[in-house]
Structure 1
């Protein structure tokens, strides 16, 4: 089933709904992600700004009271390359940025690019995996 594309107005409304310090940090993160991976499609999901490659969630910006998290859905694949990633569990990892502090835009760009590359490797493995019963 195809999902309708979200309009830029919905993305703008997301930013407009934030406190000024949250909006500033979120916009810097947003620009850094799209600068590194312009093919990602931003959508508002679960009240957060998510970035999709094709129909797969890759990144999201989750805003909390005192900091913003950049969540990396395939972050477990990137922990060796990015020791800044935090979290436990099956796949997702995140980095935190406090409001009113400089955002490491270079780190965000590198993380976005690495996430896209890891996603592509996963897709290649799926295509070349043996099919059972076929």
Structure 2
């Protein structure tokens, strides 16, 4: 099984978008970013099938992503949803089919899962060290 190199870029970008280095509310922020990335990539996949000038389809997707994030009280991370939507809508010259959009959707989803896993595991490790190894508490 091979993993196309250009899709790895989308996975890495999604990991970076989900990871939250700040200690304060990092788990909640990472989870919210995870949700917004899934919203955006799902909207991007839907928009891929809409016929019409791409600029109008992208504009429609941006508005839809903002509205969905607003309805789900995730407006603070709506930018992540928009980026994920645009990633899914990007066309490569050699892969202009729905399978390309689907592969980018899965690349973004994989990146979100990895980023959330990194944030959760480092949070768990830091909390464990603070409790058992006298690691000083971070001042927020």
Q: TM-score, normalised by structure 1?
A: 0.33
**Greater helix percent: which structure?**
2
Looking at both structures, which has the greater relative contact order when contacts are Cα pairs under 8 Å and sequence separation is at least 6?
A: 2
User: Which structure has the greater CA radius of gyration?
Assistant: 2
